[in-house]
Amino acid sequence: MKKLHICNTLMEAQHLKAVLEASGIATMIKNEHVFGALGQVPLKELMPQLWVLDETQLDDAKNLLAEALDPTPSSAPAWRCSACGESLEAQFDVCWQCGERRPGPD
């Protein structure tokens, strides 16, 4: 078992755990329920920590984590909804205006 990442919030830890486990990487969150120690232990020690259970998956987990935490928008081009004509940024797969799905590659 290896520590992978110290998270800012429990919600972030849960999201990243779900991302990794969707790719077959078993994880656990440490410090999920330590609020009672707040003020007695340094804050950094109480932050939620994401751990990888199988150390052989650590490199894959690091790569997935880096991708999940990367704020850089996709390099894919923007697209126009074929149903309503709305212009949408690349990260959206569904039109926010009408709900139409982005067309797949032909």
Structural domain boundaries of the chain?
A: 2-69, 73-106
* Residue 74's pLDDT band (cuts 50, 70, 90): low
**pLDDT value at position 55?**
95
The tokens describing 81, both together, are: 């909804």
79 in helix, strand or coil?
Answer: strand
* Residue 104's pLDDT band (cuts 50, 70, 90): confident
15 in helix, strand or coil?
Answer: helix
Q: What is the CATH number of domain 2-69?
A: 3.30.70
Each residue of 11-26: pLDDT tens digit? 999 999 999 999 999 9
* Residue 105's pLDDT band (cuts 50, 70, 90): low
Residue with tokens 């569904």: 94
Instruction: Name the amino acid, one letter, at 33.
Output: H
